[in-house]
Structure 1
Amino acid sequence: MPATFFISDHHFGHKNIIDFENRPFTDTDEMTVTMIAKWNAAVGKEDKVFHLGDFSFLNKERTKKIVSQLNGYKILILGNHDRGRSRDWWLDAGFDEVSEYPLIYRNFFFLSHEPMYMNKQMPYVNVHGHIHGQKYEGRQYYNVSVEQLDYTPVSFEQIRDSVVVDEEQG
């Protein structure tokens, strides 16, 4: 049975992100090769991946080459660095679906690029990216930025199970 994964903020082709986020790569080529390998080690051909934004700083041809190497059915929720390009641009680059807005997954998980304000009384979880190495406290936020996940997509079950564990502990 196909699995569902989440990740964000690859910033393919963004040289300065290596220094900004202390990424363990010497250059963007090494970063690209490593991140593609880690994606494909976790994600199978039939799996689904929600990419929660800030995918690539490269032109369409180079972005398309990367997307075509990644396993799975790929859904992009546009991040702040993606929004300068149209939905059609990203579809042409190889994403199977593209959303300009947050999505609700399984009636409980809000998928967004930027963290959303979550009132403590709200029983939902916000799966997000954008804040890279930072992390919001509490069971209502799950940061899927690559820096949080060793550059490897995280499965829905891992997110669900960590929320349940947090809830039981807290």
Structure 2
Amino acid sequence: MAFVKKFYIADTHLLHARLLTMQPRVFGSIEEHDEKIISNWNSVVDDKDIVYHLGDFAFQLGVQADRVRWYFSRLKGRKHLIIGNHDLDEDGNLHPTIASLEWEEPPQFMKFTRDGGKKLVLCHYAIREWQGFHSGAFHFYGHSHGNLPSVGLSRDVGCDVPDVDFTPRTYEELTIGMK
């Protein structure tokens, strides 16, 4: 029996074609981008593994709701969502398309968990100090697309950060070199 692993990723922005001209994502089309993320995801995640997605799962949520659901259904693992700004509707509520997906638990704005024997604070946005900051807790975030320097034991886990490379990563992979 294989051990259950935990993975982390943020800012997949599935279906967000305009993002290809705004961020360093070298793909010929949004379909190529999305299929690469799905392929990379499924190459490391097993069905029973846990994946924490730290926000901005998809775009065009109302217009392409069926495609969002189809993409979600193709991704392995027990998926948890830490809500990002693109997961919300224009009134700031969880978008109905995102809410309708079969998340392992209801999406939340922040999550406290443990991994690697350490406390871990998950949020879409970078926090300059977080619960456990002074006692060795780590903080994973997205949103900044690699443009915001880490502080202490924090780091961006966005899919477009070079060492994440559009692939969910484990705590061990993400904390290499962090003290």
Query: How would you bin the TM-score normalised by the shorter chain?
Result: 0.7 to 0.9
Judge conservation of contact 1:77–1:100 (CA < 8 Å) in 2: yes
Deviation at 1:141, TM superposition (A): 1.1
- Provide the C-alpha distance between the structure 2 equivalents of 1:41 and 1:139, rounded to a whole number of angstroms: 31
Of 137, 141, 144, the residue aligned with 2:150 is: 137
| Alignment partner of 1:156 is 2:156 | no
User: How many residue pairs get matched?
Assistant: 164
CA deviations 1:29-69 (Å, max 9, x no partner) are: 11111110000011111100000000001332111100000
Change (3 A) 1:125 1:80: same
TM-score, structure 2 normalization: 0.83
CA deviations 1:94-148 (Å, max 9, x no partner) are: 3222323211112611100010121774532210000113242344212110011
Q: After TM superposition, list the pairs within 5 Å mapping 1:41-80 onto structure 2.
A: 41-58=43-60, 59-80=64-85
Secondary structure at the counterpart of residue 109 of structure 2:
coil
Change (3 A) 1:10 1:122: same
C-alpha RMSD of matched pairs (Å): 2.0
Structure 1's consecutive aligned runs of 4 or more residues displaced over 6 angstroms after TM superposition are: none
Deviation at 1:91, TM superposition (A): 4.0
Residue equivalent to 1:6: 8
- Provide the C-alpha distance between the structure 1 equivalents of 2:104 and 2:19, rounded to a whole number of angstroms: 26
| Alignment partner of 1:23 is 2:25 | yes
Residue equivalent to 2:103: 95
Identity of aligned residues (%): 27
Secondary structure at the counterpart of residue 36 of structure 1:
helix
* Segment of structure 1 superposing worse, 128-137 or 51-60: 128-137
Higher helix share: 1
